Chain A
Amino acid sequence: MKLVVVSAGLSVPSSTRLLGDRLAAAVERRAEDVDVQVVELRDLAVEIAHHFTNGFPGRALAAALDAVTGADGLIVVTPVFSASYSGLFKSFFDVLDKDALTGKPVLIAATGGTARHSLVLEHALRPLFAYLRAVVVPTGVYAASEDWGGTDGLADRVERAAAELTTLMQGLTPTHRTPKSDVEVTPFAELLTQGPPLPHHAHDTVRAQ
């Protein structure tokens, strides 16, 4: 199974990346043959911006978009900026094909300086991935700074979320596993008959013939 971690952390090392790695490791412990690939959005930031201005992705971004599209499951992790996901995180999913995540299991996770932002998972990330028709695992994982030194359940939440993602990855067949071709053909006979119905009088003419 192919698992892709999308991390929008900016610092090196990054607690966002760390949370993504811990979640991926927890999935790997539960299932055999998990192939993990990490997409670091920091490395793609310039290509993402250029995709908006050029209209096509650069090579590294194209490879990342293909990896995400072809994954059996995703772990997506963002730092909280201004009470939501970061702009870079959103921008990556803005340039992803709108059908790429249909039916795909996605584990949502976020990091922040304080636990007061933990509901960002529910009011920002979950609606975004619901819109993209992903299957979002019930447990989202939020890690505040204090969680990294605490004992109040980050490890449990990581395990629970990873278990849910693993089950979904084993049980679900995402609708689009392969990157969609941009040149799929509709036969011309079908193109000729697409669109709104003929005006009423035109139907009469067709019947009269």
Chain B
Amino acid sequence: MQFGIFTVGDVTPDPTTGRTPTERERIKAMVAIALKAEEVGLDVFATGEHHNPPFVPSSPTTMLGYIAAQTQRLVLSTSTTLITTNDPVKIAEDFAMLQHLADGRVDLMMGRGNTGPVYPWFGKDIRQGINLAVENYALLHRLWREDVVDWEGRFRTPLQGFTSTPRPLDGVPPFVWHGSIRSPEIAEQAAYYGDGFFHNNIFWPADHTKRMVELYRNRYAHYGHGTPEQAIVGLGGQVFMRPNSQDAVREFRPYFDNAPVYGHGPSLEDFTEQTPLTVGSPQQVIEKTLAFREYAGDYQRQLFLMDHAGLPLKTVLEQIDLLGEEVVPVLRKEFAAGRPAGVPEAPTHTSLLAAARKGQDVEDQEVVA
């Protein structure tokens, strides 16, 4: 099972000091967080993509390439890459380039974004959000798998004899997750392709997550990729820890109360009860996270949101230390202990390459026979 960090990249004033980091400070902090994730033994770092203040990460492959150069093991990913408003040709090329530079330590998560105006800013029609996600990904999927593509669609200039470059590393496209909170169409899309489905459950009650993941698992089996239990599922999480849980609550409350998205709304107590948010001791985080599989089944990837709402970098790095030292080792052991045989690990470049070679061997044998 993979554990990692995902970041939205918000520039938010620290409510306890009133200080707002500069864009440069925030961008560099995101890099420091990624490096810390590798240092403490986490598996994945994923950055959001946004094109409006107060967010900074508009250019994910630039950032991930910079991080790739300073890391050895960490898988670099996104949360999410906008499949609706980015040109699928550019996504194909940017991430193939990153694959080569990072020696295959790359996957990505498709998403539609949560900001309406981003559609017109990039010349798209928000009413076509789902249709854009469907058509653009169908093209992206082909661009990574066919050397020469002829293509015509509804939303983009036709392509005649087009080759996206560079070709994916070792001929193996990056693994794709499809992220969605509310849209069953996206779960269906992930199931159709046999791709991963990431439910960003951090602001949602468990019963909703359960229904979405169940839908994906059942449709994954429907399309013949394996059993429902073999489908590739990722979940979000949001934690703030101190050794003493009362200290965690006291320190995190002003950040919670003023956070983008849910600030000035529910109480910290209600929100921790109804959503995956855990504010408390590492042991509480372990217990709550282990319970996710009770409603989502055994899953492959757990990403934590650690660095939003104006938390200072120093605090975030302390949090990631706690996560890497006290929480994740226990989660790895416990999740592995209860895991039925036949539930796969999250695909990596290495595993996909091995599978592709095995498939090629089988094909060669069939030709010989």
Give the complex CA separation of A141 and B84 in angstroms: 50
Asked, given contacts A54-B262, A188-B192, whether A195 binds B152 with beta carbons under 8 Å apart, the answer is no
**A181 to B184, alpha carbons, bound, how many Å?**
10
Is A194 part of the binding interface, using a Cβ–Cβ cutoff of 8 Å?
A: yes
Q: How far apart are the CA atoms of A39 and B130 in the complex, in Å?
A: 36
Q: Which residues A182-202 have CB closer than 8 A to chain B?
A: 182-188, 191-192, 194-199, 201-202
| Docked complex: B264-315 residues within 8 A CB-CB of A | 264-266, 270-271, 274
Interchain CB contact under 8 A, B215 and A185: yes
Q: A58-B270, A58-B274, A195-B131 are in contact. Are A53 and B262 (CB under 8 A)?
A: yes
Q: Does B70 contact A (CB under 8 A)?
A: no
Segment 157-191 of B: residues with Cβ below 8 Å from A: 158, 182, 184-185, 187-189, 191
A54 lies within 8 A of B265 (CB): yes
With A191-B188, A194-B131 in contact, do A182 and B274 touch (Cβ < 8 Å)?
no
In the complex, B153 has a CB within 8 A of chain A: yes
Of B208, B211, B266, B270, the most chain A CB neighbours within 10 A belong to: B266
Shortest CB-to-CB span from A65 to chain B, Å, is 14
Q: Give the contacting residue for B189; candidates A49, A182, A188, A202; CB below 8 A.
A: A188
Q: Main SS of chain A's interface residues?
A: loop
Determine the chain B residues whose CB is within 8 A of the CB of A148 once the complex forms: none
Residues in B with CB closer than 8 Å to A199 are 152, 154
**Structural contact, A198 and B154, CB atoms closer than 8 A:** yes
Is the pair A56, B205 in contact by a Cβ cutoff of 8 Å? Answer: yes
Cα separation A192 to B137 with both chains bound (whole Å): 10
The smallest C-beta distance from B100 to any residue of chain A, in angstroms, reads 31
Give every chain A residue within 8 A of B215 (Cβ-Cβ): 183, 185
Report B106-158 residues with CB < 8 Å from chain A CB.
Answer: 128, 130-131, 134-135, 138, 152-154, 158
Residues of A within 8 A of B134 (CB): 188, 191-192, 194-195
Task: State which of A54, A183, A196, A202 has its C-beta within 8 Å of the C-beta of B187.
Answer: A183
Cβ contact within 8 Å between B188 and A187: yes
Contact of B204 with A by CB under 8 A: yes
* 0/1 interface trace, chain A 34-53, chain B, CB 8 Å (1 if under): 00000000000000011011
Residues of B within 8 A of A183 (CB): 184, 187, 211-212, 214-215
How many angstroms from the CA of A187 to the CA of B218 in the assembled complex? 12
Contacts of A192 in B (CB 8 A): 134-135, 138
- B6 CB to closest chain A CB (Å) equals 19
CB of B189 within 8 A of CB of A195, answer no
Q: When the two chains form their complex, are residues A50 and B266 in contact, meaning their CB atoms are under 8 A apart?
A: yes
A196 partner, pick from B154, B188, B203, B214, beta carbons under 8 A: B154
Complexed CA–CA distance, A56 and B223 (Å): 31
B208 touches A182 (CB 8 A): yes
A151 contacts partner chain B, Cβ-Cβ < 8 Å: no
B203 and A55 contacting across the interface, CB-CB below 8 Å: yes
| B219 close to chain A: CB less than 8 A | yes
Interface size class of A (residues with CB under 8 A): 20 to 34
Known: A186-B184, A191-B130. A50 touches B270 (CB 8 A): yes
Which of B135, B152, B187, B271 has the largest number of chain A CB atoms within 10 A?
Answer: B152
* Residue on A nearest B214 in the bound complex, by CB: A183
Q: How far is the CA of A201 from the CA of B204 in the complex (A)?
A: 45
Smallest CB gap from B191: residue in A? A188
Does B265 lie within 8 Å of A185, measured CB to CB? no
> Could you say which of B158, B188, B205, B271 contacts A186, with CB atoms under 8 Å apart?
B188
With a CB–CB cut-off of 8 A, which chain B residues contact A197?
154
Bound-state CA distance A195–B211 (Å) is 26
B191-239, CB < 8 A from A: 191-192, 203-205, 208, 211-212, 214-215, 219, 223
Q: What residues on A are CB-neighbors of B188 within 8 Å? A: 185-188, 191
Min C-beta distance of B234 to chain A, whole Å: 17
Contact A53 B266 (CB under 8 A): yes
- Are B211 and A181 in touch, CB under 8 angstroms? yes
Task: Give residues 110-135 of A contacting B (CB, 8 Å).
Answer: none
10 closest Cβ pairs, A-B complex: A53-B265, A195-B131, A188-B192, A202-B152, A183-B211, A183-B184, A183-B215, A191-B134, A50-B266, A188-B188
Question: Can you give 18 contacting A-B residue pairs, CB < 8 Å?
Answer: A50-B265, A52-B265, A54-B203, A54-B265, A54-B271, A55-B203, A56-B204, A58-B274, A182-B208, A183-B187, A185-B188, A186-B188, A191-B134, A191-B188, A192-B135, A194-B130, A198-B152, A202-B152
Further 13 A-B residue pairs, CB within 8 A, beyond A56-B204, A194-B134: A53-B262, A56-B274, A182-B182, A183-B187, A183-B211, A183-B214, A183-B215, A185-B187, A192-B134, A195-B134, A196-B128, A202-B153, A202-B158
Q: Which B residues lie at the A interface, using CB under 8 A? A: 128, 130-131, 134-135, 138, 152-154, 158, 182, 184-185, 187-189, 191-192, 203-205, 208, 211-212, 214-215, 219, 223, 262, 264-266, 270-271, 274
